[in-house]
Amino acid sequence: MAEVEKFEIFHIRHAEPDNGNVGDRNACDHCLSPLGEQQAALLGERFKNIHFDAVFSSPLLRCVQTAAGAVSQMKEKPTIELIPEIIERNTPVGYHGQSVEYLSKYYDKLRLCPDIIWGPEDRQFDSLSKQGALDRARAVHLYLRERMGFGKRVLVCSHAMFGNNFLQAGVGLLEEERTQFILTLYHSSVTKIKYTSDGRERISFSNDISHLRPLLPDYECIV
- Using one digit for the tens of pLDDT, what is the confidence trace for 9-40? 999 999 999 988 888 899 999 999 999 999 99
Contact between residue 78 and residue 157 where contact means Cβ atoms under 8 Å apart:
no
6-212 classified as CATH 3.40.50.1240 = yes
Q: In a 3-state reduction of DSSP, which class is residue 221?
A: coil
39, 16 Cβ separation under 8 angstroms: yes
Give mean pLDDT, residues 88-92.
91
pLDDT > 70: percent of the chain? 90
| One-letter amino acid for residue 221 of the chain | C
* CA–CA separation, 163 and 86 (whole Å): 9
- Say if residue 147's pLDDT is above 70: yes
Model pLDDT, residue 130:
83
The predicted pLDDT at position 222 comes to: 41
Distance CA 129, CA 161 (A): 11
- On whether the CB atoms of residues 159 and 58 are closer than 8 A, the answer is yes
Confidence at 126, pLDDT banded by 50, 70, 90: confident
Task: Give the model confidence (pLDDT) of 56-71 as tens digits.
Answer: 999 999 999 999 999 9
The model's confidence at residue 218, banded by pLDDT at 50, 70 and 90, is low
pLDDT band at 221 (very low <50, low <70, confident <90, very high): very low
- Per-residue pLDDT at 2 exceeds 60: yes
Q: What is the mean pLDDT of the chain?
A: 89
User: What is the arithmetic mean of pLDDT over 123-128?
Assistant: 85
Q: Identify the pLDDT of residue 177.
A: 59
pLDDT value for 219: 53
Distances (CA, A) of 7 to 63, 81, 103: 23, 18, 29
pLDDT of residue 179: 62
pLDDT, tens only, 154-185: 999 999 999 888 888 877 665 665 666 656 57
Q: What is the pLDDT of residue 173?
A: 62
- pLDDT of 97 over the 60 cut: yes
The ranges assigned to domains in the chain are 6-212
pLDDT of residue 102: 97
- 36 alpha carbon, distance to own chain's centre: 15
